[in-house]
Structures are given as C-alpha cells and as structure tokens.
Copies of this chain bind each other. A is one copy, B any other.
Amino acid sequence: MSEIQLAPKIVPRFQDELDQLRARLLVMAGQAEEQVRCAVRALVEHDSDLAERVFMGDQAINALDLEIDERCFKLLALHQPVATDLRVIVSGVKINRDLERVGDFAVNIAEAALRYMEHPPVKRLIDIPRMADLAQGMLRDALNAYVSLDTKLAAEVIERDDALDGIKGQVFRELLSYIVGNPAITEPALDLILISRHLERIGDHATNIAEEVIFIASGRAVRHHVREGSSD
C-alpha cells in the first residue's frame, strides 16, 4: 500500500530482471535441447516430418536469441551493474550465443538426417543416440549450474566432455572401416560422421557454458586450461 511497495511496479527491480534473464536462458536451453532430441530421433526413426519440425523450431530459438541479447543489453545500459551481477550478464551474452549455435547444430543434424534417409541404413544406430543423450545432459546441467552458480556441477560438465570426444573417435573409426569395405555407403556414412561431430560440438558449447559459470563464481577464467583443441 505504501509508495515503497508500489515502486517496483513502475521500474522493475534489477534483481527481478536478472532472474528473468536466467529464466529465459533456461527456456532457450530447453528448446535447444529439444531440437537436438528431435533431430536425432528423426535420424533414428527415419522420420522426415520430425526433421522438418526441427527447421520450424529454429525460428523460435532465433527469436529467443534476439530477445535475450536485448535483455542483456538493457540490463547493462539501464542498471550499470558491477562485480558478480556484471559477470552474470556478460556471461549471459556468451551463453545465449552458445545456445543459438546448439540450435544451428540441431538444424544441421536434421539436414544430414534427411539426406541419410535417402539411402538404405548403414548400421543400427547406438553410439549417436548415446552421444545425443550425453550432450543434452551436459547442456541441461551447464544451464542449471549457471542459474544456481553451482561450480561443482559446472566442473562435472567439463569433465564429461571427454566421454563425448571418445565416442566420436569410435564412430569415426567404425564408419571409416565400413566405407573402405563398401564404398557404396560413403555418402550416408559421411553424414553419420558429420552428425557425430555436430554432437561433439554441442558438448563443446555446454563446456563453454560451464566454464562461464566458474568464471562468474570465481572471477577466474578456466578456459584454455581444462581443454585444448577440442573443437572441430
């Protein structure tokens, strides 16, 4: 009833807006994760409609990308935050870009899945869905770590990246031997190799996000120490 209580309705409080930023990044991460899930399911189930749905879904992620960027920009311009709050927002800008890239990779996987469907299946797909599960879990935990500034969880995410790299190498060697044995399958086998690389890159983006969390919490950049030349 007092003016003090009314004030927040007129100018939203900084901490509320910061909470909204976190909430929107969680929404975007959820959508990116769902896009990856759909794209890999389209591949495994030879479902071209589902692949098409991934293309449509990318528009929502792109809209969120612009919205979140704008939020970060306004938070910086209007509230001129310092210390941890400033780090949360600057990291928000970077995490937003990471998530947008994950969305692009989901589209790339769906494109490769459509091409893959034009040929007889190369093999039963086990490793690629496993890679997708791993990458999705890393993404989810990285965002949870960001929202709760949980550095222990962030460190776990960074550690899990090695497993993803390991499976990628396995997939590559196996498919290479298939191609050498039967060059007729070169095209679809190459698409599987590409998909496994897209999934590994999604893990890299989750790792980037986890590294940001450690930076926010400690003011200490850990990137370039924990991983070396892991991208492709």
Interface residues of A (CB under 8 A from B): 55, 58, 62-63, 65-66, 69, 72-73, 76-77, 80, 82-83, 86-87, 90, 93-94, 97, 101, 104-105, 107-108, 111, 176, 179-181, 183-184, 186-187, 190, 193-194, 198, 221, 223-224, 229, 231-232
* Contact A186–B194 (Cβ < 8 Å): no
Residue of B nearest to A215 (CB): B69
* Contact A183–B179 (Cβ < 8 Å): yes
* Contact B101–A231 (Cβ < 8 Å): yes
Q: In the bound complex, what is the Cα–Cα distance between A1 and B176 (angstroms)?
A: 73
Q: Supply 24 A–B pairs (Cβ within 8 Å), ascending by A.
A: A55-B229, A58-B229, A62-B223, A62-B224, A65-B223, A65-B224, A66-B223, A66-B224, A69-B221, A72-B90, A73-B87, A73-B90, A77-B83, A90-B90, A90-B93, A93-B93, A97-B97, A176-B186, A176-B190, A179-B186, A183-B183, A183-B186, A190-B190, A190-B193
